[in-house]
Amino acid sequence: MANNPQNYLIAGNDEHGVNPPTAGKRTPMMPYIDRVIYENEFNYAAKNAFLADCLRIGFRILDVKPNRQDLSISNRVTIVNRAGANALVTFAYNAFGDGTTFNDANGLEGYYSPLNIRPQQSQNFAEIVYQNILEAVDVRGRGVKPLDVGMLSNVNCIACLMECGFMTNFREARLMLDPDWTGDIGRAACRGVCEYFDVNYITREQDSFPILRLNSTGKYVRYLQFLLKIDGYAVGQVDGVFGPNTQNAVRAFQQATGLSPDGIVGRLTWYKLNNLTPSARTLRLGDYGTEVKYLQQKLYSKLYNVGSIDGIFGRQTEQAVKEFQAENGLVVDGIVGKNTWAKILDPDVYRPNLT
């Protein structure tokens, strides 16, 4: 019989920060969009996808560093140990060379510490999480290795660190902004946690999301609250209680995504929240919502400058779509239909490195 996920407190940690950016932790200058990508942009998104999935499964969670500022390792270790976490997963991104130019170093590396209070269990845990990520995304495996760093050595629980790619590899650098890459990695890590603790894992596609309304409680409310919170909605505490703050946040989300703002989370609201099939909708100038935001994220990760990633299909997003269509043999009409979606969803279609 599988274990109850409520018995485990799972901690998620994202390395470094963006407010202000941690020195040196960024890609070389990215062509076309003329900016660097900071490591924490990936780390934070992957951690959030991981913690959200852990909530959906029913684990208790600890967000070690919910703010975007960097935080010392000693402070983060203290947070984990005071909370009594059962496991810690840290998300990071690697680099090779001087950091100013792209090179061929690539792949996923997993780490554990032989100095951890449970070294063998941490190694086993790292290998399971690593293997699940390796199976979820198209990345070369570089193995699981020992590493003596504070976030692995000094916490009083099993712990692993995943370096999910190389910022100095052009392909893996641009993927740092791809919502599918970050989401797949985070959810794969959750699947690894489930495997280690013998907890049943089901995908979002298999899940039966209940109708939620004022005074609902439970794991799906926590999952809902966390999704809304990381999207910028004021839900208050992620406590599993559907109170007035959560209701107001749901209404604001519904309003922003073209749904009737009734504050009830039914099939259509879950559909928008989980955004499982964004390509089912044809998008054009003037549209708005979660599918538009996803489109903007995908185009930006392919190095087309959409302007603000705000879920509003404005002129700059339309121009980016037209540039994408022109460069990929599509009808240049600025409308994202079946053929344009197919190209956008193709992982091998993106602007080349100019250097």
Estimate the crossing angle of helix 179-197 against helix 39-57, to 10 degrees. 50
What's the CATH code of the domain at 266? 1.10.101.10
Examine the domain organization and report whether 260 and 332 are in the same domain. Answer: no
Query: Last residue of some domain: 274, 290, 311?
Result: 274
pLDDT at residue number 221: 98
User: What is the per-residue pLDDT across 102-123, written as a single tens digit (0 to 9) for each?
Assistant: 999 999 999 999 999 999 999 9
Across 185-214, average pLDDT: 98
Query: Last residue of some domain: 248, 274, 300?
Result: 274
DSSP secondary structure of 104-173: S---EEEEE-TTSSSHHHHHHHHHHHHHHHHHHSS--EEEEEE---HHHHSSSSEEEEEEEEETTSHHHH
351, part of any domain: no
User: What is the per-residue pLDDT across 24-65, written as a single tens digit (0 to 9) for each?
Assistant: 999 999 999 999 999 999 999 999 999 999 999 999 999 999
User: What is the per-residue pLDDT across 169-183, written as a single tens digit (0 to 9) for each?
Assistant: 999 999 999 999 999
Instruction: Label residue 265 by pLDDT band (50, 70, 90).
Output: very high
pLDDT at residue number 194: 98
% of the chain surpassing 90 pLDDT? 98
34, part of any domain: yes
204, part of any domain: no
Q: What does the mean pLDDT of the chain come to? A: 97
Domain that holds residue 138: 5-197
pLDDT at residue number 355: 73
Examine the domain organization and report whether 31 and 107 are in the same domain. Answer: yes
Structural domain count, the chain: 3
Examine the domain organization and report whether 266 and 300 are in the same domain. Answer: no
Examine the domain organization and report whether 235 and 293 are in the same domain. Answer: no
156, part of any domain: yes
pLDDT at residue number 143: 98
Examine the domain organization and report whether 228 and 177 are in the same domain. Answer: no
pLDDT at residue number 354: 84
353, part of any domain: no
279: DSSP letter: G
Examine the domain organization and report whether 227 and 337 are in the same domain. Answer: no
228, part of any domain: yes
What's the CATH code of the domain at 143? 3.40.630.40
349, part of any domain: no
pLDDT at residue number 34: 95
Query: Last residue of some domain: 197, 228, 263?
Result: 197
pLDDT at residue number 247: 98
Examine the domain organization and report whether 269 and 228 are in the same domain. Answer: yes
Examine the domain organization and report whether 251 and 169 are in the same domain. Answer: no
Q: Please name which of 168, 198, 211, 164 lies closest in space to residue 183, comparing C-alpha atoms.
A: 164
Given a cut of 90, whether residue 251 has pLDDT beyond it is yes
The secondary element (H helix, E strand) that includes residue 88 is strand 87-94
Phi, psi of 181 (to 5 degrees): -60, -50
Q: Which residues contact 294 (CB under 8 A, 6 or more apart)?
A: 179, 275, 278
208, part of any domain: no
Examine the domain organization and report whether 97 and 15 are in the same domain. Answer: yes
Locus of tokens 């390509």: 279
Query: Quick check: 113 and 146 in contact, CB under 8 A?
Result: yes
pLDDT at residue number 37: 98
Query: Quick check: 47 and 186 in contact, CB under 8 A?
Result: yes
Examine the domain organization and report whether 95 and 237 are in the same domain. Answer: no
Q: What is the pTM of this model?
A: 0.97
Examine the domain organization and report whether 23 and 85 are in the same domain. Answer: yes
Examine the domain organization and report whether 184 and 302 are in the same domain. Answer: no
